[in-house]
Amino acid sequence: MKVQRLLALLCVLADVEKITVQELADRFEVSKRTIFRDLEALSCAGIPIVSYPGVGGGVSVIEGYKIGKQILSNDDVQKIFSALDGLRSIDRDSSINNLIAKLVPENEEHIFTKSKYVISLSSWFSNNIIQKKIFSICDAIDNHRCISIEYISKTSHIMRIVEPHKLVFKQSNWYLYAFCRNKNSFRLFKLRRILSYQILEEQFDFKEIGHIDFEENYGSGLFSHHDTDGAFLVILEYDTEDEFILTEKIDASFFSKANEQTSVSQIRFYTTDLSFATDTVFSI
């Protein structure tokens, strides 16, 4: 919606010294003409927009102009609080508590009650190994320290020296996004596959990262209800008593009772990657 974009645009302008119209258009995924119209609307509303022409120019809000916290709606605050609370669950940095205090000066419980999301990235277990790896890697990132890792990949078991840049959480798994000196490029390393690691004394300079390519099409069609070109129909029979364990890897919507007279049920799905699906099923 235009109003939401205008508020977001104002937040961006208040947070930077100056920014180009093209950068704003790219960020909000609209045309430059739309950004110009939005800037004109803000100006008409009394927001002092300043334009800097020429090379290195851009637009900004006039220096010293203050934006009240009321620019964030209650729904905005709830979403931001949920995200920060999730980050707080695995990050020991006290600055997160300070940031939440700035955002939510009133009682946190009130915002928690109103929010429809609860995000916790922590483990169910206090002595979780992944959690320990996260804490160690966070310290290495903060201090620009290289890490020596012993990593198990699909084709090798090798020692690597990496420069840790980011911790990534995607689809229930933690990854280390690091520059691998062996491959001379950035790689994603699943934390579960790091057999051993050592934080080194050697330091490194951070490299500019525009974005991380998560290969969104990886494993496309691994489990599907619908037949597509090149897809295989897979039917698995299982004992009902194993149902709970199977849901760790396969969504329950693929389960069906084959015969009411027996304890044997079925899982039926289509997949375009039979090898990957087989590996997934047999890893349960």
- Dihedral of alpha carbons 138, 142, 147, 152, sign: positive
The number of beta carbons lying within 10 Å of the beta carbon of residue 104 is 19
- Dist. CA 193–CA 204, nearest whole Å: 24
Q: Is residue 213 part of a domain?
A: no
pLDDT confidence tier of residue 216, bands split at 50, 70 and 90? low
Question: Which pLDDT tens digit goes with each residue over 131-189?
Answer: 889 999 999 999 999 999 999 987 778 899 999 999 999 878 899 999 999 999 999 99
Does the pLDDT of residue 196 top 90, yes or no? yes
Q: What is the CATH number of the domain that holds 184?
A: 2.30.30
Same domain, 179 and 195: yes
Q: Is residue 102 part of a domain?
A: yes
Same domain, 96 and 52: no
Q: What is the CATH number of the domain that holds 58?
A: 1.10.10.10
> Which conformational region is residue 230 in: left (phi greater than 0), alpha (psi within -120 to 50 degrees), or beta?
left
Q: Is residue 269 part of a domain?
A: yes
Q: Is residue 222 part of a domain?
A: no
First-to-last C-alpha distance (Å) of the chain? 44
State the pTM of this model. 0.65
Does the pLDDT of residue 8 top 70, yes or no? yes
Number of independent structural domains in the chain? 4
CB 173 within 8 A of CB 192: yes
Q: Is residue 184 part of a domain?
A: yes
Q: Considering the chain, what is the average pLDDT of its residues? A: 83
Nearest to 134 by CA among 183, 197, 179, 209: 197
- Dist. CA 78–CA 103, nearest whole Å: 10
Q: Residue 98's domain spans which residues?
A: 72-114
Q: Is residue 226 part of a domain?
A: no
Residue 77, classified by CB atoms within 10 Å of its CB into exposed (0-12), middle (13-18) or buried (19+), is middle
